[in-house]
Amino acid sequence: MKNKKTILVTGGAGFIGSNYLNKFVPKYKDYLFINVDILTYAANLDNLKISSLDNYRFEKVDIRDIKNLEKVFVKYNPTDIINFAAETHVDFSIKNPNIFIETNINGTNNLLILAKEYKINRFHQISTDEVYGQLKTRKGKFKETDNLNPSSPYSASKAAADLLVKAYNKTFGLNTVITRSSNNYGPNQDISKLIPKFITNLLDNKKVPLYAKGDNIRDWIYVEDNIDAIDLVFHKGRTGEIYNIGSGCEKSNLEITKTLLDLLKKNEGFIENVPDRPGHDFRYALNINKIQNELGWRPKYNFENAIKKTIKFYKNL
């Protein structure tokens, strides 16, 4: 049987990419999914529960290596691309900006070059709310039309990638969509990130390193809500458009920490306040009217239930 689509999914062994593949490889049996991942510290093939399915393939390839990347295009002739692949840890980008430039900008450009050459039907770029910069007060939310004002090498590299995607749409007519999500949490997230790091530290009776007073605010979205929105935008989003994906669940890092302490039956003596990181944005929040009004998407998970599911996942590792 000829596959209806052959989707090249980059970064499919990472956090969000693996959750996407675990849900949609079984759902779309007439699609062939090609997982392209170089398997950095944040990726793990054990994250994938669908490796034995007939409509899934894995290729260990670095998106920075356009020659080997093109071999995947020649081998599979993909019809679509969803680009999850990225270096994402802000702290690491402060220590070593170069790999973020190489992966997030040059790697994305390699994919765009090949998407254009091989006449890809749709290029879906996975981005972040951090490209907008920070909201300095508790008021207001970012819209898709707001200016980009990134603060870290990570967010600057993602903003640059978004602009490249938009340029390929306008200049070359490439069918593109971009989704920008708020802070994800859930299964398969690398333990260098805040929620899994704090959960695993507390499970091991270790203190949790909280930046400054923990006042920084994020909109937290359960990863399954994000991948459902991504799937919807991939199939029905308008070409050339950007869609924000958020949950409206704004919590400070201190609130997150106290929730985890409570659920894991620890006291506040487990909090270790550490010096703030350079350029730490105060608040992110997304206006999601566009994806709600155009595509009818709404988040399904509430934080209270989803954080318990997340803790259970890390307990069972």
Nearest to 239 by CA among 148, 301, 187, 168: 168
Cα–Cα dist 185/312, whole Å: 13
Examine the residue annotation and report whether 76 is marked as an active-site residue of this protein: no
Task: Identify the CATH assignment for 5-186+220-247+282-302 out of 3.40.50.1000, 3.40.50.720, 1.10.150.250, 3.30.70.3270.
Answer: 3.40.50.720
Over the stretch 238-266, which tens digit does the pLDDT of each residue have?
999 999 999 999 999 999 999 999 999 99
Position 3 scores a pLDDT of 87
Q: How far is CA 199 from CA 149, 155, 162, 176, 296, in A?
A: 31, 25, 32, 37, 33
- Helix or strand run (H / E) with residue 133: none
Query: Residues 201, 266: contact at Cβ < 8 Å?
Result: no
Cα–Cα dist 231/246, whole Å: 15
Query: Percentage of the chain with pLDDT > 70?
Result: 100
Examine the residue annotation and report whether 154 is marked as an active-site residue of this protein: yes
Position 70 scores a pLDDT of 98
Over the stretch 23-73, which tens digit does the pLDDT of each residue have?
999 999 999 999 999 999 999 999 999 999 999 999 999 999 999 999 999
Examine the residue annotation and report whether 130 is marked as an active-site residue of this protein: yes
Catalytically annotated residue among 37, 62, 80, 130: 130
Cα–Cα dist 109/126, whole Å: 14
Adjacent-strand bridge partners of 82: 9, 124
Query: Residues 176, 291: contact at Cβ < 8 Å?
Result: no
Q: Residue 1: pLDDT above 80?
A: no
Band of residue 200 on the pLDDT scale cut at 50, 70, 90: very high
Catalytically annotated residue among 59, 62, 129, 225: 129
Question: Taking the complete model, does pTM exceed 0.85, yes or no?
Answer: yes
Q: Residue 287: pLDDT above 90?
A: yes
Q: Residue 2: pLDDT above 80?
A: no
Over the stretch 96-149, which tens digit does the pLDDT of each residue have?
999 999 999 999 999 999 999 999 999 999 999 999 999 999 999 999 999 999
Catalytically annotated residue among 20, 132, 154, 284: 154
Over the stretch 153-192, which tens digit does the pLDDT of each residue have?
999 999 999 999 999 999 999 999 999 999 999 999 999 9
